[in-house]
Amino acid sequence: MTRTERHVDVLIVGAGPAGLAAGAELADAGAGHVEILEREQEAGGIPRHCHHGGFGERRTGGRPRGPYARGGTDGPAYARRSVAAAVRAGAVLRTGVTVTGWAGPRTLDTTGPTGLGRITATAVLLATGARERPRTARLIPGTRPAGVYTTGELQQAVHLYGQRIGTRAVVVGDEPVARSAVATLRAAGVQVAALVTGRPDTPFRVRRSGLPMLTGAVVTALHGRTRLSGVELRHDDGRTTTLRCDTVVLTGDFVPDNELARRGGLTLDPGTRGPAYDAAFRTSRPGVFAAGNLLHAVERAHVAALEGRAVAVPVLHRLAGTDLPAGAGQPLLVDAPLRWIAPNVTGSGGERPPGGRFVLRTDRRLPRPLLLVSQGGRELHRQRLLLPAVPDRPFHLAAEWLDRVDPLGPAVRVSAL
Amino acid sequence: MTVTVTTAGLLPTGDGPYDVTVVGAGVVGAAIARELAGYRLRTALVEAADDIGEGTSKANTAILHTGFDAVPGSLEARLVREGHGLLAAYAARTGIPLERVGALLVAWDDEQRAVLPELLAKAVRNGYHAARLIGAAELRAREPHLGPGALGALEVPDESIICPWTTPLAFATQAVRAGVHLHLGCRVRGVGSDADGHTLSTSRGPLRTRYLINAAGLYADEFDRFLGHEEFTVTPRRGQLIVFDKLARGLVDHILLPVPTAAGKGVLVAPTVFGNVLLGPTSEDLDDRTATGSTAEGIRLLREKGRRIVPALLDEEVTAVYAGLRAATGQEDYRIRHHPGRRYVTVGGIRSTGLTASMAIAGHVTGLLAELGLDLGERRELPELTLPNIGEAFPRPYLRADLIARDPAYGTLVCHCEQVTLGEIRDAFSTTLPPRSVDGLRRRTRARGGRCQGFYCGAAVRALFEKERP
Ligand SMILES: Cc1cc2nc3c(=O)[nH]c(=O)nc-3n(C[C@H](O)[C@H](O)[C@H](O)COP(=O)(O)OP(=O)(O)OC[C@H]3O[C@@H](n4cnc5c(N)ncnc54)[C@H](O)[C@@H]3O)c2cc1C
Ligand SMILES: Cc1cc2nc3c(=O)[nH]c(=O)nc-3n(C[C@H](O)[C@H](O)[C@H](O)COP(=O)(O)OP(=O)(O)OC[C@H]3O[C@@H](n4cnc5c(N)ncnc54)[C@H](O)[C@@H]3O)c2cc1C
């Protein structure tokens, strides 16, 4: 097995918003040889196929243009801009190259059309993103017909390949991405029969009226032999019904693409299932950093990009030999019904997460929760949120208490009252 | 040798009757066709679906059994034992993924532990001598992720895992290359017989054959009735299975079998040749021969059993859920029978061991044809066949610098979860039996069969299929 071995200063895995922003920032700062590897033929990550997304920072006063952000550009334009910025700054971007595994603590094996590679880096940044759980991972019983999509596959089928989808679709999901699925289906000329959500109330507004919302309903089976013929639902009140359709789009229910992180033996956070990391984006392995939706499935693209820029500082420290040892922090754990917190290690260098706050998720709706941070019975912080915390939506916790963490004490816990 | 594979239109009739026609291109029918290809016979393999292996053969547990637990003295016991050796050797020659991981039949309570010596004695009666009993400590050392309470096990070192899709594909490919005619999309609807043979009426017109073999799987009883035989009824017994993510592979080193009960062989946990972990199957008697769907109840039951066997497994992502139907006939043995004076062989009731026994069944059935009066003539060796490797035990194309240097398409990954390259997908369409559906492509290459189920590559794979389809 012949592999071409090389050394680079920074190796970034994944050219989505996070990886590209990090590459641009680091190359700009003179980090040396900064290389971004992307397994797809086109760089850009998920936004490549989000024709209906509103990407980039929120513009105040802008006309609502997409389901995610007011203002901003569409996904493909955002992707092109991110790619151009990274390349302009001098990062080496290689597409069609897959990182297939680890050969050392900071050495990665690659496969591409020019052959097999083995790249050792002073700093590695994992930015491999997140995916939606498909039907199988959601354990939806029934037959195995064609016509079953995730939003990711649907968007690519419509926008990248112009494929025929179907005539009548049901969209399932509680997250904003469901609106992207509706928009994509409509753009493809598919009638949307209903948007189905397990929530008791409407989780978000859908642009353009005339879309039936079925709340408090879960999918209990798929029907149809070769092609989907219907989706069976169980409603809150115990009724079951079957919606006739030839297409179903299962949206949201994101899971980090953590394979490389796990195969590399990085510690994972039990809540996010991404690598455990601190406010400086350090994983449990010295010199291995992570950013973007790999860390928290799923935030909007501009959050991923923001993290990409923010990770540049600790990476530069690493290159200069002025970084602090990794793994020195305390695990940050959440109590139910909180699902996860990110970052989820307290860190050691006095860094603050981007924006000076942590991001969290809850499994249950909490009206104006009181968030309590404690370490071994000692209260570090309490904070009342002014708005309800809702499943699948980010809410935040201030980070100023980080200085009060005892570096030798037990794990830090966050609970909601 | 010209290759004859037809998929539509009237069946060719110009060259007179076939010597032998095999109905059903599952793993059993394909193995029989391959065996017959070794003789100077005009043989046809007729299949209702538009691809081979579309029936029960595509959805099983994919274990190459030793037959240690078969009913001693039964035909099944003998054919499984012989089939194990034949298929293991054939797999090594042709590149069918196979791993001899061994099985541990685990006892979880005293009652079960007391049964292990009986099972060991039964293995010996079945001519299998390599099994042995191991204690709790050794068991835990060898399977550290096993749930609490495992008291001991019967080790069966030759139980192996095999690729269920490549096996019938190899048989059918070799058969067709050696001159067997394969007629796909051809459902047999009735049979008229006379002293010289049979006329099949099919969805693609009549087909005349001197000898006839019924390898129709779940429909073997209905097929028998075309010829007036009413010897058995198939009761489909569904088996649902869950495939866990490759990241679970490290949790399991062996096939972990339960102690069998009157209700059946029970739910096992096993690695797959693709590097996943399988949990299943259920055992449900049904009436509907098309009920290959999964159910909430089945999935719940499997998860409950799985949590006991390897608790950590349940935290892993699920890659696939599927179900297959065993052709149970109410008899603990195969229903293989020739009908003297009728030039007809029924190969029925191949319930839960047909993948393993396929090659031995083929040899046995060929012998029955000779008994019915068919002059087989001299046996000849078939040209060797080598299939591209899709298993994890040997380097896949994406890890082979030599292949990529020759053709960069082997360095271009399309399906990221299963690491399937553009080169492999392209090659699949220029084989003797190209895929005729996206699922057929998956069974040949693994494309789109991984944890994301198409989130990343689904549209790209479909585009390649549309471009290259035959
Ligand atoms: C269907 C969908 C619609 C969305 N719509 C919007 C929207 O409208 N607005 C919005 O703000 N956000 C939207 N989002 C969220 C947004 O896309 C993400 O926040 C953003 O893309 C995350 O960026 P990332 O860099 O972390 O990951 P990604 O964009 O997922 O990029 C990760 C990259 O890593 C590559 N990669 C992974 N593993 C390897 C490997 N082993 N080797 C090489 N490369 C690898 C992948 O190919 C991919 O290109 C949407 C998400 C989805 C799934
Ligand atoms: C859940 C489960 C787990 C199993 N696990 C294992 C295992 O681990 N190891 C093992 O060795 N075995 C296992 N088996 C058993 C094995 O899968 C079967 O014994 C084997 O696949 C049977 O093959 P077959 O060719 O007889 O049937 P099939 O694969 O069903 O093939 C029959 C074919 O006949 C065709 N046909 C039917 N009627 C007609 C007609 N009128 N005209 C034309 N074509 C027709 C059908 O379309 C079909 O393709 C398992 C089975 C199940 C269900």
Listing DSSP states for A345-383 in one string gives B--SS----GGGEEEEEESS-BSSPEEEEEETTEEEEEE
- Hey, is the C-beta of B314 within 8 angstroms of any chain A C-beta? no
B257-310: pLDDT as tens digits: 999 987 788 999 999 999 999 999 999 999 999 999 999 999 999 999 999 999
CA of B71 to the centre of ligand 1 (A): 55
- Hey, is the C-beta of A98 within 8 angstroms of any chain B C-beta? yes
Strands B344-348 and B335-339: antiparallel
User: Does residue B381 lie in a domain region?
Assistant: no
Specify whether B239 is located in the same domain as B319: yes
Q: What is the chain B residue with the closest CA to A95?
A: B412
Q: What is the chain A residue with the closest CA to B464?
A: A161
Of A40, A141, A262, the CB nearest to B247: A262
Task: Judge whether residue A67 has pLDDT over 50.
Answer: no
First to last CA, chain B: 21
CA of B95 to the centre of ligand 1 (A): 37
What is the nearest CA distance from A224 to chain B, expressed in angstroms?
Answer: 10
Specify whether A371 is located in the same domain as A409: yes
Report pLDDT for B14: 82
Of A40, A111, A153, the CB nearest to B458: A153
Report pLDDT for A205: 65
Answer for the pair B243, B320: CB distance below 8 angstroms, yes or no.
yes
Q: Which of A195, A226, A252 is the last residue of a domain?
A: A252
- Hey, is the C-beta of A220 within 8 angstroms of any chain B C-beta? yes
Report pLDDT for A90: 98
- Hey, is the C-beta of A137 within 8 angstroms of any chain B C-beta? yes
- Hey, is the C-beta of B411 within 8 angstroms of any chain A C-beta? yes
Residue B207: nearest ligand to its CA?
A: 2
Specify whether B227 is located in the same domain as B297: no
Specify whether B321 is located in the same domain as B339: no
Is there a contact between A141 and B419 if contact means CB atoms under 8 Å apart?
Answer: no
Q: Which pTM does this prediction carry?
A: 0.96
Specify whether A18 is located in the same domain as A89: yes
Report pLDDT for A405: 92
ipTM of the complex, rounded to two decimals: 0.95
Tokens of B8: 């539509």
Name the average pLDDT for chain A: 92
For chain B, what's the residue count?
470
Would you say the CB of residue B161 lies under 6 angstroms from ligand 2?
no
Specify whether A231 is located in the same domain as A269: no
Specify whether A12 is located in the same domain as A126: yes
Specify whether B202 is located in the same domain as B221: yes
User: Does residue B63 lie in a domain region?
Assistant: no
Q: At what angle do helices B438-445 and B458-468 cross, to 10 degrees?
A: 100
Specify whether A140 is located in the same domain as A114: no
Specify whether B215 is located in the same domain as B341: yes
Mean pLDDT of A365-377: 95
Q: Which of A309, A327, A345 is the last residue of a domain?
A: A327
Specify whether A200 is located in the same domain as A316: no
Would you say the CB of residue B162 lies under 6 angstroms from ligand 2?
no
Specify whether A339 is located in the same domain as A417: yes
CA of B280 to the centre of ligand 1 (A): 34
Of A137, A163, A262, the CB nearest to B462: A163
CATH number at residue B367: 3.50.50.60
B42-53: pLDDT as tens digits: 999 999 999 999
- Hey, is the C-beta of B298 within 8 angstroms of any chain A C-beta? yes
How many domains does chain A divide into?
3
- Residue of A96, A166, A111, A156 whose CA lies nearest to A132: A156
User: Does residue B14 lie in a domain region?
Assistant: yes
Q: How confident is the model at residue A326 (pLDDT cuts 50, 70, 90)?
A: low
- Hey, is the C-beta of B247 within 8 angstroms of any chain A C-beta? yes
Measure the CA–CA gap between B193 and A343, rounded to whole angstroms: 76
- Hey, is the C-beta of A115 within 8 angstroms of any chain B C-beta? yes
Residue A174 lies in domain? 134-252
Residues in A closer than 8 angstroms to B401, CB to CB, are 1-3, 115-116
Q: Name the residue of B398, B416, B418, B457 whose CB sits within 8 Å of the most ligand 1 atoms, as the mutation to test its pocket.
A: B416
Ligand 2, atom 4: nearest CA belongs to which residue? B60
Q: How many CB atoms lie within 10 A of CB B432?
A: 15
Measure the CA–CA gap between A216 and A198, rounded to whole angstroms: 4
Specify whether B413 is located in the same domain as B283: no
Q: How confident is the model at residue A61 (pLDDT cuts 50, 70, 90)?
A: very low
Specify whether A277 is located in the same domain as A342: no
Report pLDDT for B261: 85
Burial of B382 by CB count in 10 Å (0-12 exposed, 13-18 middle, 19+ buried)? middle
Report pLDDT for A58: 52
Specify whether B351 is located in the same domain as B323: no
Specify whether B170 is located in the same domain as B39: yes
Specify whether A42 is located in the same domain as A102: yes
Report pLDDT for A59: 45
Of B404, B453, B460, the CB nearest to A115: B404
CB interface of B with A, residues 359-398, below 8 Å: 395, 398
Q: How many CB atoms lie within 10 A of CB B394?
A: 11
Specify whether B276 is located in the same domain as B151: yes
Would you say the CB of residue A271 lies under 6 angstroms from ligand 1?
no
Of A3, A98, A161, the CB nearest to B413: A98
CA of A130 to the centre of ligand 1 (A): 6
Residue B311 backbone dihedrals phi, psi, to 5 degrees: -55, -40
CATH number at residue B260: 3.30.9.10
Is there a contact between A131 and B320 if contact means CB atoms under 8 Å apart?
Answer: no
Mean pLDDT of A347-373: 92
Residues in A closer than 8 angstroms to B405, CB to CB, are 115
- Residue of A20, A16, A21, A14 whose CA lies nearest to A38: A14
Contacts of A152 (CB under 8 A, 6+ apart): A46, A49, A131, A132, B452, B455, B456
Report pLDDT for A68: 45
Answer for the pair A184, A74: CB distance below 8 angstroms, yes or no.
no
Tokens of A351: 């860094």
Specify whether B144 is located in the same domain as B262: yes
Would you say the CB of residue B442 lies under 6 angstroms from ligand 2?
no
Measure the CA–CA gap between B414 and B18, rounded to whole angstroms: 43
Residue B51: nearest ligand to its CA?
A: 2
Q: Name the residue of B161, B182, B186, B355 whose CB sits within 8 Å of the most ligand 2 atoms, as the mutation to test its pocket.
A: B355
Residue B461 lies in domain? 397-468
Please report, in tens digits, the pLDDT of each residue of chain B (470 residues total): 789 999 999 999 888 999 999 999 999 999 999 999 999 999 999 999 999 999 999 999 999 999 999 999 999 999 999 999 999 999 999 999 999 999 999 999 999 999 999 999 999 999 999 999 999 999 999 999 999 999 999 999 999 999 999 999 999 999 999 999 999 999 999 999 999 999 999 999 999 999 999 999 999 999 999 999 999 999 999 999 999 999 999 999 999 999 998 778 899 999 999 999 999 999 999 999 999 999 999 999 999 999 999 999 999 999 999 999 999 999 999 999 999 889 999 999 999 999 999 999 999 999 999 999 999 999 999 999 999 999 999 999 999 999 999 999 999 999 999 999 999 999 999 999 999 999 999 999 999 999 999 999 999 999 999 999 88
CA of B348 to the centre of ligand 2 (A): 10
Specify whether B155 is located in the same domain as B245: yes
Specify whether A202 is located in the same domain as A145: yes
CATH number at residue A212: 3.50.50.60
How many domains does chain B divide into?
3
Specify whether B241 is located in the same domain as B154: yes
Q: Which of A301, A327, A353 is the last residue of a domain?
A: A327
Would you say the CB of residue B87 lies under 6 angstroms from ligand 2?
no
Specify whether A121 is located in the same domain as A258: yes
